[in-house]
Structure 1
Amino acid sequence: MSSIKIYYTSVSGSREVKQRQEEVTRILDIYKIKYELIDVSVSFKVLEEMRMKVSTTALPPQIFNGQEYCGDYEMFHEAKENKEILKFLKME
């Protein structure tokens, strides 16, 4: 089984980014879904890796199931509203 990976940042001046990251991890915890946090603020290489997989302007959080891209916060939030978290995470 693939693992859920969340590219996030531990250092951000944006309250919105922090709130979005917290919501994603909180929802995954509620669903008891294990995930790995990958901190893009650790090195530019990690940030570059995330952006190569998604887009050059992508901001955290970005969510993957293994190597497969699931989506960003907006897509996650929409899935949550539609009660389709497992579908969004490609776990169905």
Structure 2
Amino acid sequence: MVVKVYISRTSGDMEIKSRQQAVLQILDSKKIIHEVIDIAEEDNKEQKEFMQKNATSIGATAMEPNPVHSLPPQIFNDGEYCGDYDEFEMANENKDLDRFLKLVPEEVEIHTSTAEMKISSNQQEEINDT
């Protein structure tokens, strides 16, 4: 699983540039391995379309409050959408970045099999008999 950050190095929006820089600095400081995908590069047209199709948060800015497509930075873990800058920042502030980036399972369920329950029950009976 690879964290992918979709950015645009040619954006004229200073808020987008600042957000992109903050995301990348935080990932670097926490030593989280990530791939940067510049959707402004001609070779990344398919990646840009993927981001626009699969990002569910628009990442609106003061300069562009109602964008037609989601604005960078957008964060994915492989093909699974994590969120935009605001969601990233909130997860970072709440010390929940690993879960946000889908680096850890959402929930770990513990299942006890019938056999384990029977053994446990038998052990309790042995204790009661002594």
TM-score (norm 1): 0.91
Alignment of 1:48-59 (within 5 A): 48-55=49-56, 57-59=69-71
**What is the CA distance between 1:54 and its match in structure 2?**
1.5
Provide runs of 4+ in structure 1 moved above 4 Å.
none
Q: Which residue of 1 aligns with 2:8?
A: 9
Could you say what secondary structure the match of 1:71 adopts? strand
Alignment of 1:22-33 (within 5 A): 22-33=21-32
Q: Which has the higher strand share?
A: 1
Could you say what secondary structure the match of 1:49 adopts? helix
Q: Can you give the 5+ residue segments of structure 2 that lack an aligned partner in the other structure?
A: 57-67, 105-130
Distance (Å, rounded) in 2 between the aligned partners of 1:23 and 1:68? 21
Task: Tell me the number of residue pairs that the alignment of Structure 1 and Structure 2 aligns.
Answer: 91
- Give the residue type in structure 1 aligned to 2:95: K
TM-score (norm 2): 0.66
Q: Can you give the 5+ residue segments of structure 1 that lack an aligned partner in the other structure?
A: none
- Give the residue type in structure 1 aligned to 2:92: K
Could you say what secondary structure the match of 1:32 adopts? coil
**Greater radius of gyration (CA):** 2
- Give the residue type in structure 2 aligned to 1:91: L
Q: 1:40 to 1:14 in 2, by over 3 A?
A: same
Q: Which has the higher contact order (CA 8 A, sep 6+)?
A: 1
Distance (Å, rounded) in 1 between the aligned partners of 2:100 and 2:9? 24
Distance (Å, rounded) in 1 between the aligned partners of 2:26 and 2:35? 14
Which of 77, 81, 90 lines up with 2:89 in the alignment?
Answer: 77
Percent of paired sites with the same residue: 44
**What is the CA distance between 1:48 and its match in structure 2?**
1.9
